[in-house]
Amino acid sequence: MNLLYPVLLSSVLWLAGCATVTPDAANTAEAETPAVHTPRYPNGALSPITRTQVTTPGVASLSAPADLWDRIRRGFAMPDLDHELVQDREQWYASRPDYILRMTERSSKYLFHIVEELERRGMPTELALLPYIESAFNPQAVSSAKAAGMWQFMPATGTYFDLKQNVFRDDRRDVLASTRAALDYLQKLHGMFGDWHLALAAYNWGEGSVGRAIARNRKAGLGITYAELNMPAETRMYVPKLQAVKNIVNTPEAFSAELPLIENHPYFQAVDIKRDIDVELAAKLADVTVSDFRALNPSLSRPVIFAAGIPQILLPWDNAKVFERNLDAYGKGQYSSWTVWTVPSTLTVADAAQRVGMSEEGLRAINNIPPRMVIKAGSALMVPRTASTLTDVSSQVADNGHVAFAPEIVTRRTTVKAQKRDTLASLAQRHRVSVANLADWNDLKVGASLKAGQSIVMFLPMRASSAVATARGPRAGAKVATSARSTKAQPQTSKKGGTPSKVRKR
């Protein structure tokens, strides 16, 4: 064993000597293989860089972002639009510092979540600024074309992207759901057009409109970039507005703009709820005001949250734990003061209120029932919760609840004299009532024969009975007597009327 150590030591020294290069040998190797430097020249003509390109780093920074604005700047990835309309919008915003401050302060609740989602999807962070253009970051904003929420979804497009819209909530206003849908839509549009400017034009104008504009330009041998397409004034200004906001965010000092500090930290947390709960109680347990609670949960349109439809609520980061502790300690048993009653048949508001033990004014107020309307069968009405209705609202009702109304028709008792060869069927057709109702009003059988001059009672709408009373000639019926004192409110079903509103976007 003692002989083994010298042998090993000598072997190691021999191997080390083989691997060692003398200084002279190293110098000789360097002299024989000089370093080669190949200069690189740009292809094509040089063009000036933009203000954004000067301040946007070309490589990833090792330091953490100073705030959320810094983080957004680092993710700028869309090509800049160099257009005179950009300068026009820059001047418009720069001349309104109070507007910029209000808008950016409002966005502080939602911006971190949007940036997180954009980075997770690998999308340009400029898109986090799009709600400034759409709604000034107001989740309750509604356009004249009925687009709603901070991302301004039209009803049909919202439905396509699985945003629930019913009598209890509108997910087009929901912070998480609408952001998910908007980024899904923008990714879809970018995949269609391969260009972010065209994708934004399609978000505002509609993908079909942009597609047709591109086809027209191709047919005419024209360019198909955003600046070259023929589009409405609103869409023409759309990307310049976003570029102007991007430039202000990138270098606010150049525009004498003040951006409020937004920490690079989540503003809110999602908290699970397992029971229906009043909005006021949820806000109280979280130790926030009702207005602050609704700002983070803007999709709610009623004073109660149905857990089957909205299993999570958003709360300020520091208040989430407060809510969970207070909810666990809450011992009063009842969390919700309201439930839902499905109307079994078409009813007047007075009849419905009597059935649920409410005043007519109270039922109208909580369910937004307009005057001179009856409630159609199948409508889901908010009513007070009682000892017999302790079960929480089902997911079927929470996700699909709706309220439908029909005009309340006031009728007048009218007497008509039958003419020769008149039948109940001919009188019913002439006065636009059903044969069954006419028979019932006069205690006759449907096929009963009539005598000339026989008095037939009808209940006609006010306008119709007036028209009958003043009409002349054989086609209008003969000798009509009306009673102004006898009126009767009758529910009347009607077809869904109206045409879709003009679509401004999506």
pLDDT digits (tens, 9 = 90+) for 297-311: 999 999 999 999 999
Residue carrying structure tokens 């309340």? 408
CA distance 213 to 447: 64
Cα dist from 231 to 11, 133, 206, 270, whole Å: 83, 18, 11, 41
Residues labelled as active-site residues: 134
Q: Residue 312 has what pLDDT?
A: 96
Task: Name 211's Cβ contacts closer than 8 Å, sequence gap at least 6.
Answer: 192, 202
Task: Name 487's Cβ contacts closer than 8 Å, sequence gap at least 6.
Answer: 410, 411, 412, 413, 462
Give percent of the chain above pLDDT 70: 79
Q: Residue 44 has what pLDDT?
A: 56
Cα dist from 331 to 311, 321, 385, whole Å: 21, 18, 18
pLDDT digits (tens, 9 = 90+) for 341-356: 999 999 999 999 999 9
Residue 269, beta-bridge partner list: 315
CA distance 288 to 318: 11
Measured in residues, the chain has a length of: 506
- In the predicted model, what is the mean pLDDT of the chain? 84
CA distance 369 to 353: 12
CATH number of 64-255: 1.10.530.10
496-505 CB burial, b ≥16 within 10 A, e <16: eeeeeeebbb
Q: Which two tokens stand for residue 15?
A: 């191997």
Q: Which of 119, 110, 123, 197 is nearest to 151 (CA)?
A: 110
**pTM for the full model?**
0.73
Q: Which two tokens stand for residue 37?
A: 């430097």
pLDDT digits (tens, 9 = 90+) for 159-182: 999 999 999 999 999 999 999 999
259 — alpha (psi -120 to 50), left (phi > 0) or beta? beta
Residue type, 461: P
CA distance 459 to 143: 43
DSSP conformational letter for 423? B
Residue type, 241: K
CA distance 61 to 67: 14
Q: Which two tokens stand for residue 29?
A: 């190797």
SS3 helix, strand, coil % of the chain, rounded to 5? 45, 15, 40
Q: Residue 47 has what pLDDT?
A: 55
CA distance 137 to 175: 11
CA distance 477 to 493: 26
Residue range 55-59: mean pLDDT, rounded: 49
Q: Residue 497 has what pLDDT?
A: 36
Residue 240, beta-bridge partner list: none
Are 90 and 253 in contact by the 8 Å Cβ rule? The answer is no
Least confident window among 191-200, 210-219, 320-329, 386-395: 386-395
Q: Which residue has the higher pLDDT, 14 or 111?
A: 111
Are 206 and 505 in contact by the 8 Å Cβ rule? The answer is yes
Report the CATH architecture of 409-491. Roll (3.10)
Q: Where are the domains of the chain?
A: 64-255, 268-329, 338-403, 409-491
Cα dist from 171 to 99, 131, 178, 402, whole Å: 27, 16, 6, 15
| Parallel/antiparallel/unpaired status of strands 455-461 and 478-491 | unpaired
Are 107 and 150 in contact by the 8 Å Cβ rule? The answer is no
State the pLDDT confidence band at 5, using cuts at 50, 70 and 90. very low
272-304 CB burial, b ≥16 within 10 A, e <16: ebeebbbbebbbbbbebeeeebbbbbbbbebeb
pLDDT digits (tens, 9 = 90+) for 9-44: 444 444 444 444 444 444 443 444 444 555 555 555
**pLDDT over 90 at 503, yes or no:** no
pLDDT digits (tens, 9 = 90+) for 270-295: 999 999 999 999 999 999 999 999 99
CATH class label, 338-403: alpha beta
CA distance 24 to 382: 94
Task: Please measure the distance between the N-terminal and C-terminal CA atoms of the chain and give it in whole angstroms.
Answer: 87
**338-403 and 409-491: same fold?**
yes
Q: Residue 408 has what pLDDT?
A: 84
Are 299 and 169 in contact by the 8 Å Cβ rule? The answer is yes
Are 377 and 430 in contact by the 8 Å Cβ rule? The answer is no
CA distance 135 to 70: 23
CA distance 126 to 133: 12
84-107 CB burial, b ≥16 within 10 A, e <16: ebbeebbeebbeeeeebeebbebb
Q: Residue 449 has what pLDDT?
A: 87
CA distance 437 to 426: 13
DSSP conformational letter for 64? P
pLDDT digits (tens, 9 = 90+) for 386-413: 876 778 999 999 999 999 999 888 788 9
Residue 278, beta-bridge partner list: 304
DSSP 404-434: -EEEEEEEEEEEEEPPTT-BHHHHHHHHT--
CA distance 282 to 294: 11
Q: Which two tokens stand for residue 462?
A: 């006010």
